[in-house]
Amino acid sequence: MTHSRKGIAAALGAYALWGLLPVYWKLLKTVPAPQILGHRVVWSCVFLAGLVTLRREWPGFRAADRNRRVLGIYTGAAAILAVNWLIYIWAVNTGHIVETSLGYFINPLLTVLLSVCFLHEHLRRLQWLAVFLAAAGVGYLTWQHGRVPWIALALAVSFAIYGLLKKQAPLGALHGLTLETAVLLLPALVFLAAADARGTGAFGHTGWQIGWLLAFTGLVTALPLLLFALAARRVSLSTLGILQYLAPTCQFLIGVAVYHEPFSRIQLTGFMLIWAALLLYWLDGALRLRRLAWSSANPPRS
């Protein structure tokens, strides 16, 4: 298997696991979302710290940890990530999987818009049209339903901000996520201890199946991220950009086909506008890569 094939396999594995996450959270629907979040933080930190130990990378990790700028970036990223995780878990377990998928369909376009606002990048015409189409889709859903699809927008905005912060982050995927979960570890432990003291804690009180599922939240959190980190080193960004839609597509299909969430013609129209926006965005990237390839193959003659 070539490096590129290994990279594509890793990317497919990461996005498929992210796409199947709603099924895992549904297995924990009897546990309040804040407690699932707390356990996700704790067990992710344990799992990631174990990996750092196995790879004997603590000296480099401690050096980064002492840098105030690095710590500030990752503290902000950790807070945003916690908000994103909490909204996602709560939405899945209250029957809003389709709306969560909408958020992750919107996210790439919102990320592009944030890069214009904060990183001073420039959009091409097709990219602007894609952004306007996505906004039209959200506007249409808001108008027809009489409410803003806040779950989708909250997930899209929080993950786009998280991505923007990570753009400035100097650590690799393993060290970065380890530091983020370490920042959240103490608040998570205090919250879980308080819940246990009130007699409302789920871990150890609701059967061994729930206990194991909570413990394995660390693995289901870290594994796709590590696969993604492997893919990012071996696969072009354009390929990753195409494959990333596998996750929200899986979530959408699970919501409609497995958990039978309602999906009306109004929702279909809104989604189609957003899917058209994503198609335009992909087309713009494909055309640009083709032009660059042609230019490099046919350099101007002097």
Give dist(CA 85, CA 234) in Å, integer: 27
For every residue of 78-120, DSSP letters joined together read HHHHHHHHHHHHHHHHTT-HHHHHHHHHHHHHHHHHHHHHHS-
Residue with tokens 């590129």: 4
Residue with tokens 């995780």, as numbered in its chain:
85
Confidence (pTM): 0.84
User: Would you state the structure tokens that stand for residue 252, as one six-digit string?
Assistant: 């959408």
Quick one: pLDDT at residue 236?
A: 64
d(CA 131, CA 129): 5
pLDDT tens across the length of the chain (302 residues):
445 778 788 888 988 999 999 999 999 999 999 999 999 999 999 999 999 899 887 876 776 666 778 888 889 999 999 999 999 999 999 999 999 999 988 888 787 788 778 877 777 888 788 888 888 888 888 887 778 889 999 999 998 888 888 777 777 778 888 889 999 999 999 999 999 988 887 776 677 899 899 999 999 998 888 888 777 667 765 566 667 788 888 999 999 999 999 888 888 898 898 888 888 877 877 777 677 667 666 666 55
